[in-house]
Amino acid sequence: MKLLLETREVGRVTIVRCKGRIVAGGEVEALRAHVAHLLRDRRSLVLHLGEVVFIDSSGLGTMVRTLTSTRQARGDMKLCDVPEPIRKVLQLSHLHKLFDSHESEDHAVAAFYRAPVHTEKPVSTGRSVLCIDRNADVVTYVRELLRNAGYDVHTSNNLRDALILMRVSRFDLLLLGAELAGSPATEKSFRDLCAAVPCIELGGDFSTLDAGQAASALLEKIATHLQPAS
């Protein structure tokens, strides 16, 4: 079974979901290369191990090396949803003291948000904005646009991850993409948390608008929503 790696961003945290076997050969090389690629501009990583069925000594060594590489880059890496067999291996090898493990993605993300900011690039002192959109390109564009404008920007591609962020951090404004959906419970929780936060809807055509016009219009809307109350 090959190792499959699925990556998504939850605010300033990057979650890497591992599926299959972490073993000597192409699998460990793929994991090492993937983390090295992420470390070019990300510093807070979570390895989700819930679907890892086997790990050998080489795989364990690679995990240690990736943790070391992450910390050398002034970041950190946490584990979550560690299967019992792997948990026992970590305990037998005394490596459970090296890795910061959490029972779920939610707890791992929360741990990063409670941690000192030195594990991440310095954030802006501007107002805090959470952008939620299913389109990864839109999220990337909005994130860089607002960072350059001085805002502290966090992003998510779905409502569930947005809920994680809203529970561990406070936001001054929400940017909502079109057709965001989740389970009934997720949607209700999201509506409840949104009640106290100003929202701007990006609209279904945002991704197809002229980039310059879209940027100007969005920045103007944000400034209007965040201007001090008179």
Complete DSSP assignment for 156-204: ESSHHHHHHHHHHS--SEEEE-TT----HHHHHHHHHHHTTS-EEE--T
Does pLDDT of 122 surpass 50? no
- Helix pair 105-114, 159-168: axis angle to 10 deg: 40
Going from N- to C-terminal start, the domains of the chain cover 4-119, 128-226
**What are the backbone dihedrals phi and psi of residue 117, each rounded to the nearest 5 degrees, phi first?**
-70, -5
Q: What is the CA radius of gyration of the chain?
A: 19
If one compares 115 and 36, the residue with the highest pLDDT of the two is 36
Q: What is the pLDDT of residue 124?
A: 52
In CATH, the number for domain 128-226 is 3.40.50.2300
What three-state secondary structure class fits 203?
Answer: coil
Topology of domain 4-119, CATH: Transcription Regulator spoIIAA (3.30.750)
Query: Tell me: the pLDDT tens digits for 77-101?
Result: 999 999 999 998 888 887 888 999 9
